[in-house]
Structure 1
Amino acid sequence: MECVIGVVGRDFAVVAADTSAVQSILVHKTDEDKVMVLDSHKLMGASGEPGDRVQFTEYIQKNLHLYQFRNTIPLSTAATANFTRGELATALRRNPYMVNVILAGYDKDVGASMYYIDYIATLHKIDKGAFGYGSYFCLSLMDKLYHPDMTVEEAVDLVDKCIKEIRLRLVVAPQNFVIKVVDKDGAKVYARREYISDSPPDAAPATASATATEA
């Protein structure tokens, strides 16, 4: 039930993802960071099989660092997207990575940009997007509320609306999310959204007990 969300605004990009590490019906942890900082001005939000997701995102991150050490300049966001697509396409014919990616970055001459890359190496430049079951709700909200000149606060508010809808409508919904922003000042964590129940722990049993007594 993973979900990765991305939005491009006026001069920034926002990437958010749930923080659940799940196997089958078990939740192993709720603080897994699925939005990797590739370098000072790039973010990669990934969903998919946990092992593939961790290995592939780290592989891309280390190769970007290697390129910069060898050539003294970093890859642009577009070049990083094409490199990532190339690696997925190569693996597709050998041992595929079951990973879907939203890549966001900021370049001085281009500004903020975002790319959608799925596990079969499909690449698209986008202004908004989402992966996972939560995308069924997020994409419709984005179609209605998104506009290109959004401020950071407006974009994060849109992401919050998506998170609220996911928690409300998805049968087994991830509760905690991390939101990261990349702009001219670099990539950073903007906020964390942790679910806090409004009801006291014994509220549900008490209600059930009262109903049974009346019956």
Structure 2
Amino acid sequence: MESVFGLVGKDFAIVVADTSAVHSILVHKTNEDKIMVLDSHKLMGASGETGDRAQFTEYIQKNVALYQFRNGIPLTTAAAANFTRGELATALRKNPYMVNIILAGYDKETGPSLYYIDYIASLHKLDKAAFGYGSYFALSMMDRHYRRNMTVDEAIELVDKCIMEIRTRLVIAPPNFVIKIVDKDGAREFAWRESIKDAPVPTLA
């Protein structure tokens, strides 16, 4: 029951993801961070098979860093999105990654942007996007309340509405979410929305 969504505001972009690591009917943990900081001004929120998600996002992160190391300049958000799409397309007919991605970034020249990349390597630049079962409700809320020039406070209020709707409407809803933001000051964690905590691991006497 994964939920990953994001939106672009006036001079920032936000990515939100649930933090549940599940397999079949089991919840392994509720503090899994599914939003990777690619570099100083890019975020990658991912949903899909746990192994594919972890390996593919790390692969993209290291290649983005390698490009900057070799060339002395970072990839733009659009270039990083197209590189990611290309890697998914290359793998599609060999050993496909079952991973869906929301890539957000901030560039000095163009400002904030958000890219939707799915597991069959389609790429779209959007103002708002969502993946997973929670997308049914997140997209509905964003269609109703989203505006292109929203402030950070207005965007966080909308994010909280989306989270509340997901928790209310999904029969098996993820309890915890992480919110990250990227703007001219960089990519960073903004807040967590937690309704339960992981139980402490018992120690042997």
- TM-score greater than 0.5 by the shorter chain: yes
The residue aligned with 1:190 is 190
Decide which structure has the larger Cα Rg and report it. 1
The residue aligned with 1:148 is 148
The residue aligned with 1:30 is 30
The residue aligned with 1:211 is none
Q: Which runs of 5+ in 2 are unaligned?
A: 198-205
Displacement after TM superposition at 1:150 (Å): 0.2
Displacement after TM superposition at 1:51 (Å): 0.1
Q: Is 1:10 aligned to residue 10 of structure 2?
A: yes
Q: Is 1:129 aligned to residue 135 of structure 2?
A: no
2:161 partner SS? helix
Match runs of 1:35-74 below 5 Å: 35-74=35-74
Q: Normalized against structure 1, the TM-score is what?
A: 0.91
Match runs of 1:84-103 below 5 Å: 84-103=84-103
What is the distance in 2 between the residues matched to 1:112 and 1:10?
A: 8
Q: Which runs of 5+ in 1 are unaligned?
A: 198-215
What is the distance in 2 between the residues matched to 1:180 and 1:167?
A: 19
Displacement after TM superposition at 1:119 (Å): 0.0
What is the distance in 2 between the residues matched to 1:73 and 1:116?
A: 24
Identity of aligned residues (%): 77
What is the distance in 2 between the residues matched to 1:159 and 1:13?
A: 12
Q: Normalized against structure 2, the TM-score is what?
A: 0.95
Aligned residue pair count? 197
Q: Which amino acid aligns with 1:16?
A: V
1:33 partner SS? coil
What is the distance in 2 between the residues matched to 1:121 and 1:196?
A: 35
What is the distance in 2 between the residues matched to 1:45 and 1:180?
A: 9
What is the distance in 2 between the residues matched to 1:156 and 1:129?
A: 15
What is the distance in 1 between the residues matched to 2:155 and 2:196?
A: 23
What is the distance in 2 between the residues matched to 1:148 and 1:136?
A: 20
What is the distance in 1 between the residues matched to 2:155 and 2:91?
A: 34
The residue aligned with 1:201 is none
Cα RMSD, aligned residues only: 0.9
Instruction: Give 1 or 2: higher helix fraction.
Output: 1
Q: Is 1:159 aligned to residue 159 of structure 2?
A: yes
Q: Is 1:168 aligned to residue 168 of structure 2?
A: yes
Paired residues of 2:113 and 2:127 also in contact (CA < 8 A) = yes
The residue aligned with 1:116 is 116
